Amino acid sequence: MKKSIIFLMLLVNLSVFSQEGISGIVTYKIESNFEIKSDTIENSLLKKVFESLLSNGKQTDHLLFKLKFNSKRTVFLKDNTLSSNKNGINPIEIELKIRGKIFSELSTKINLTKINSAKILVRDSLNFNWKLTKETKTIAGYLCYKATGIKRIFKRNTYLEKPIIAWYSPELNILAGPSGYRKLPGLILELNEVGLLTFKVSEIEFNNDIKIEKVPNYKIYDRKEYDQILRERRLGNN
């Protein structure tokens, strides 16, 4: 009888996380992995500027991001209830502002990013080349597995490949994560962009009344097209 009750409880828990209508919000906090080195800078004024960036980059308490989800789609955006850092330039805020608001249809391998400064969308094809491992750790009470991958990013008129490390939980049947990272067999609770940022789960709220905004009807560019536009603008300003 006792075994039957335990088995029934397991079935109930599984059904909660696999039901069609599940929705909610995941809150992530941000930590800096920025690699800004001032040791080799000889100009004293320029060195102070870089050291200020390093200091401001550690101030992340005011930076929280929300992943709103349901069984079909997600949107990832900044929590605007918190004020921005007023103490100078923060490289993390600049980086995240560039990324914009990210819309994902979970049945596809496409993300659409709304660029904050313009009424356009940038289309990204998911190609993180995830490699699943057997390494585990517990995050927020959930058993998580480690996955590694690669992300190609456009920096300084060229493409760089950045390693990424994700910790996802199969206990949470939400095939999504922060900043457009997804297509792992469970919710990503921690995501480390090596040399850039780490996203760590702060809170998970299941709420079937959550409303997810629709993708705006803006002009869509492929990522390569948008990168070319940025490249031409930079060359034009030189």
Model confidence over 135-182: pLDDT tens digits? Answer: 999 999 999 999 999 988 766 667 788 899 999 999 999 999 999 999
pLDDT digits (tens, 9 = 90+) for 82-114: 555 555 556 666 667 777 899 999 999 999 999
pTM for this predicted structure: 0.77
For residues 121-142, average pLDDT: 95
For 226-235, what is the mean pLDDT? 76
Which pLDDT score, from 0 to 100, does residue 16 have? 43
Residue scoring higher pLDDT (71 or 169): 169
Evaluate if residue 53 carries a pLDDT over 90: no
Nearest CA among 195, 205, 131 for reference residue 168: 131
Listing DSSP states for 20-65 in one string gives TT--EEEEEEEEE------TT---HHHHHHHHHHHHHHT--TT-EE
pLDDT classification of 40: cutoffs 50, 70, 90: low
